[in-house]
Amino acid sequence: MFLKSLKLTRASFLTTIVVALHSSTVFSLDLKVDLPQNAGKEPVLYYNPIVDQQPNAGTGNKPVASEKIGKNKKKDNKNVKNSELISDTQDEILDDSNNIPPPPENLVQNKKKNQQNSNFEKNDGAKSAKKTRQMRDESVYNNEEEEIVETTQNRNVKDPFPALACIADNVAFWEKVYTEIDVNEAFLHDKNDLGIIYSSFSLSPSKAIRNKQIEAERKKYTSILNSLSTKLKSSAKKWNADEKRVAALFKPGTLTTQNVLAAIDNLRVQTGLKSQFDAGVQRSINYLPTVYPIVKNSGLPIDIVFLPHVESSYNSKAGSKVGAMGLWQIMPNTMKLLEGKNAVAKRTDPKISTRAAMKLLKSDFDKIQNWPLTLTAYNHGVNGMLRAIDETGSRDLCKVIDHYSSPSFRFASSNFYAQFLAARKVAMKKYAVIAKKKSGGSSLVLRKTILSNKGGSIK
């Protein structure tokens, strides 16, 4: 009897070892699924497409190190400690099968209101106008009791991200930035009216020379605008070719001396992103098998998968000087509140960061109930966006852009939604070209993710 029991114990023990080895093998494979071959072993600083008016030298087609000035994020030394920064050693990847972020309030049955802030402490310092992304930290919550329900929004019956007439020129501008000019080219344009592009010019790889080229272009058009304003005051309007061309850029009824002089202060330089955007499209194909299911299961609009094209060019190692990291550029304190302290060092992991981003967007949408403003809040901060709603008395992004006055709501925040719409449009066109090949892994990935949401069709 003892020998039989011993044999049974040995058999059970061997079976347990085999199962354990099999499980660990599967888990280890899961860690390698969607990382590109050239993803990089060290975090890199992501080139912010918004504010690089004086590009760094020698960038080639690689992202340029640039602080996210447009987002006005300030590193809080009291809250962000060295221990929270990215470590070289990755902890064990968390399982994504649970804790899928709940859907927006209007997609949930039996919604329990007044509970959305119950799991997180409020920060009295959030009133500072200089805080942007960190302002969202105190307002994020995770309500695991909500029921995910399927609605027509998931089937794209109505686009939750509508094109707005007030930013049509902005969207067209960013499309040009993503498709027409590259890192060694730039637009000189009006920062308040993106329909006015004065010139497109080349830039040297040398930082010193680039700065001189940019300054020379500014001086040239400052002189043209000054001359134009002077001639507008006189009866003799003998304009030269440059003055006529610049005058024609102004919308009917806006060519006044006051507006022309104001345009001098609005001169801005935007470098191109063509090669960077193209590289982001290729990288995204590696990440979509991971990102797409999490976004879809969250109950949020599936087109949110295009947001990393704006945030990081789908570079999981992308980071900013102020501490934002990963595909979704999540700040340390935000990740800590969303997924716990240990997750701060895992923001470069596509699964964990996507799950956190969905919780953040869901929380912001519950408060704002408007996707154009919710995406703007992803850049500007949800508390800042709620103040904008209170100040303007409107949830219309157009009215917020026109009437909201805040030191932190500037070019980057007012253009963020337009950038998203442009990135979605450009990326879809590029995905369609890749998918039409009907062969290879990239085409298959797109048909099972992005195109599956469109019924598998390519228009």
325: left (phi over 0), alpha (psi -120 to 50) or beta: beta
Q: Exposed (0-12), middle (13-18) or buried (19+): which is 237, by Cβ within 10 Å?
A: exposed
What mean pLDDT do residues 70-90 have? 34
Mean pLDDT over the full length of the chain = 75
Between CA 218 and CA 214 the distance in angstroms is: 6
% the chain with pLDDT above 90: 61
Of 58-72, 306-320, 443-457, minimum mean pLDDT range: 58-72
Predicted local distance difference test score (pLDDT) of residue 57: 31
Predicted local distance difference test score (pLDDT) of residue 51: 38
Chain center to CA of 283: 15
Of 107-111, 182-186, 373-377, minimum mean pLDDT range: 107-111
Q: Is the pLDDT of residue 8 over 50?
A: no
- 395 in Cβ contact with 389 (< 8 Å): yes
Residue 413 banded pLDDT, cuts 50, 70, 90: very high
46-50, 199-203, 229-233 — which one is most confidently predicted on average?
199-203
Predicted local distance difference test score (pLDDT) of residue 157: 56
Give the residue range(s) of CATH 1.10.530.10 domains in the chain: 44-166+273-454
Q: Is the pLDDT of residue 146 over 90?
A: no
3-state SS of 16-52 is HHHHHHHHHHHHHHHCCCCCCCCCCCCCEECCCCCCC
What mean pLDDT do residues 182-201 have? 98
Q: CA distances (Å), 421 to each of 224, 225, 287, 384, in order?
A: 33, 32, 20, 22
Q: Which of 104, 129, 173, 172 is nearest to 373 (CA)?
A: 104
Between CA 67 and CA 404 the distance in angstroms is: 25
More confident residue, 173 or 70: 173
Q: Which of 375, 373, 366, 378 is nearest to 404 (CA)?
A: 373
Q: Is the pLDDT of residue 90 over 70?
A: no
The CATH code of domain 44-166+273-454 reads: 1.10.530.10
The amino acid sitting at 194 is L
253: left (phi over 0), alpha (psi -120 to 50) or beta: left
Q: Is the pLDDT of residue 153 over 70?
A: no
Q: Exposed (0-12), middle (13-18) or buried (19+): which is 101, by Cβ within 10 Å?
A: buried
What mean pLDDT do residues 243-266 have? 96
Does this model's pTM top 0.85? My answer is no
Per-residue pLDDT tens digits for 343-366: 999 999 999 999 999 999 999 999
Residue 234 banded pLDDT, cuts 50, 70, 90: confident
Both tokens assigned to 85: 């920064």
Predicted local distance difference test score (pLDDT) of residue 320: 87
Per-residue pLDDT tens digits for 274-318: 999 999 999 999 999 999 999 999 999 999 999 999 999 999 999
Between CA 301 and CA 353 the distance in angstroms is: 17
